[in-house]
Amino acid sequence: MNVRAIEKAFTILFSLENGLSTDKESAKRHLTDVKQMFADQEEAEARLKKENPLIYEFYDLGMPDAPGDLAFGTSITYPGKIGDEYFMTKGHFHGILETAEVYFCFQGQGIMMMENPEGEWDFQCLAPGKAVYVPKRFAHRSINTGDTPFCTFFCFRADAGHDYKTIETKGFRKIVVDKNGEPTVVDNPRMVACGSCRLVRRIEKML
Ligand SMILES: [Fe+2]
């Protein structure tokens, strides 16, 4: 538990152009850190033999994780694909499942993929100016469906915590791939539970 108290107001600058801050060091996730999340493992391995691209970065400001505090920062997911699957964040549940989160998009375009432990899933398309409310109990993952960095500002209850392990182990039941140039939500072929459902849902026109 981070018990450092924030006793004074403070500001931190995040660039509206690229989401980065010069005040703080970001946490970076390269392909080697997230390769197991992608459906096409052969393609991920082949790519790693050539390069190890930065997939996303985000800011953890180390806010006190006491009830009543807030954690916030920016998340930047870079454009690119592994096979036909877009670059994305690992995704996570909150350690305290009953906690929600808000993401506000200010650059690029992408999708927030969401799924709860009961297997319900949803996604929302984001573009600059759009905010998404991620309900409590829903794991969430940012996916860049554009060709520029997908930048969001997020805020959630600071004591919520993160559960990455469940997603690392089980994955999301839906993934987003490029089909003939269009972002398309499909079943995750690596999830046996989805094997009987072949429904492909096309994303309505992006903003
Ligand atoms: Fe979160």
CATH number assigned to the domain comprising residue 124: 2.60.120.10
Taking the centre of ligand 1 as the mean of its atom positions, its distance from the CA of residue 49, in whole angstroms, is: 31
State how many domains the chain has.
1
Question: The tokens of 61 are what?
Answer: 């400001």
**Edge-to-edge strand order for the sheet containing 101-107?**
27-30, 54-58, 70-77, 150-157, 101-107, 131-134
Torsion over CA: 176, 179, 184, 190 (sign): negative
pLDDT at res. 18: 98
Interval between CA 75 and ligand 1 midpoint (Å): 11
Output the CA 156–ligand 1 centroid distance in Å.
Answer: 7
Ligand 1 center from residue 92 Cα (angstroms): 6
135, 100 in Cβ contact below 8 A?
yes
Give the per-residue pLDDT at 169. Answer: 85
pLDDT at 34: 96
Residue 163 belongs to a domain: yes
**How would DSSP label each residue in 77-103?**
E---EETTEEPB---BEESSTT--EEE
pLDDT at 3: 52
What is the predicted pLDDT for the residue at 137?
A: 97
Q: What pLDDT does residue 191 have? A: 76
CA distance 48 to 42: 10
What per-residue confidence (pLDDT) applies to 204? 40
pLDDT of residue 14: 97
pLDDT of residue 192: 52
DSSP-assigned letter for residue 186: E
With respect to residue 52, please indicate whether it lies within any of the assigned structural domains: yes
Q: Ligand 1 center to residue 188 CA distance, Å? A: 21
- The pLDDT of residue 64 is 86
In Å, how far are 8, 29, 70, 75, 158 from 66, measured between CA atoms? Answer: 16, 27, 9, 22, 7
Return all residues near 75 (Cβ < 8 A) that are at least 6 apart.
19, 56, 57, 58, 59, 89, 103, 142, 151, 152, 154
Question: For the chain, what percent of residues have pLDDT higher than 70?
Answer: 90
pLDDT for 45 equals 97
CA of 203 to the centre of ligand 1 (A): 23
5: in domain? no
What is the CA(72)–ligand 1 centre distance, in A?
Answer: 10
The stretches in the chain having pLDDT less than 50 are: 1, 193-207
Domain-embedded: residue 13: no
pLDDT of residue 7: 74
50 falls within a domain: yes
CB 100 within 8 A of CB 194: no
Q: Can you give the residue range of the structural domain that contains 34? A: 27-199
Tokens 């094997």 identify what position? 195
Q: Could you tell me if residue 122 is inside a domain?
A: yes
**Cα 138 to middle of ligand 1, angstroms:** 9
pLDDT of residue 109: 98
Assess if residue 136 is contained within a domain. yes
Classify residue 119 by its DSSP letter: S
Contact between residue 116 and residue 96 where contact means Cβ atoms under 8 Å apart: no
Span from the CA of 11 to the centroid of ligand 1 (angstroms): 21
121 inside domain: yes
